[in-house]
A and B are shown apart, each in its own frame.
Chain A
Amino acid sequence: KQEVTQIPAALSVPEGENLVLNCSFTDSAIYNLQWFRQDPGKGLTSLLLIQSSQREQTSGRLNASLDKSSGRSTLYIAASQPGDSATYLCAVETSYDKVIFGPGTSLSVIP
């Protein structure tokens, strides 16, 4: 059974710092992994999607990596800004067309 975990559960950093969020999954048989951002009272915004054949994806200050064999993904945020404060979720799509979400990391960027 696929399980997805995220560490840390919460993170607080001063503005301008680079940071890394971690996502782990137990079954490497995935189609893809996606990182989302969730803002209070709003839906989920897709940030990056990494197909199983890919190693990383980049969008602006965000870089996500995927290591299927070790069951890990990282989301790197460069030069963090207060506007980056949100909950970040990773989700893996399994072989059964289902998406399993991690519990999320709550990020606070302090001005």
Chain B
Amino acid sequence: DTAVSQTPKYLVTQMGNDKSIKCEQNLGHDTMYWYKQDSKKFLKIMFSYNNKELIINETVPNRFSPKSPDKAHLNLHINSLELGDSAVYFCASSQAITGAPNYGYTFGSGTRLTVV
């Protein structure tokens, strides 16, 4: 059973399109995250949600909008895609409470987004 699953695994789309990446976790974790890994392999946090509530919102263009219908799902919608959005996007979850020590993360397998 996949603990954190993302779909799609690969996404190729044209500039200006709107696309969504879905993430689901079956671990019963309270917190979910979106990370972006750029071409230099740096992983940076974009958003985190705790029980459907937005906790962390890093400096990300407002074209990126996370949506958490329930604590097991955190989807990422991207409007008006740009070439610079090309990257690998990772979803993760943890049994974390804001301000309290984390107990480890579980990552999805990533979504490779290519904007042409």
The chain A residues found within 8 Å of chain B, CB to CB, are 31-32, 34, 36, 41-46, 49, 51-52, 87, 89, 91, 93, 96-99, 101, 103-104
Chain B contacts for A34, CB-based, 8 A:
104-105
- A44 pairs with B107, CB closer than 8 A: yes
Chain A contacts for B103, CB-based, 8 A:
49
- C-alpha spacing A98/B108, complex, angstroms: 18
21 A-B pairs (CB sep. < 8 Å): A31-B102, A32-B101, A32-B102, A36-B107, A42-B109, A43-B4, A43-B90, A43-B108, A43-B109, A44-B43, A44-B107, A46-B104, A46-B105, A49-B104, A87-B41, A93-B101, A93-B102, A99-B105, A101-B43, A101-B44, A104-B41
- B42 pairs with A51, CB closer than 8 A: no
The 9 closest A-B pairs by CB, nearest first: A43-B109, A101-B43, A44-B107, A31-B101, A43-B107, A49-B104, A93-B102, A43-B108, A97-B98
| Total count of chain B residues near the partner, CB < 8 A | 27
- Chain B residue with minimal CB distance to A39? B109
- A103 pairs with B42, CB closer than 8 A: yes
> Which of B55, B96, B102 has the most chain A CB within a 10 Å cutoff?
B102
Chain A contacts for B11, CB-based, 8 A:
none
- CB of B56 within 8 A of chain A? yes
- CB of B48 within 8 A of chain A? yes
Chain A contacts for B4, CB-based, 8 A:
43
With A34-B104, A42-B109, A46-B106: A97-B41 Cβ-Cβ less than 8 Å:
no
- CB of B66 within 8 A of chain A? no
- C-alpha spacing A42/B2, complex, angstroms: 13
B16 to chain A, nearest CB (A): 27
- C-alpha spacing A103/B37, complex, angstroms: 10
- C-alpha spacing A103/B102, complex, angstroms: 21
- Chain A residue with minimal CB distance to B97? A97
With A43-B4, A103-B41: A98-B106 Cβ-Cβ less than 8 Å:
no
**Would you give the 0/1 interface string for B32-55, flagging 1 where the beta carbon is closer than 8 Å to chain A?**
010000001111110010000001
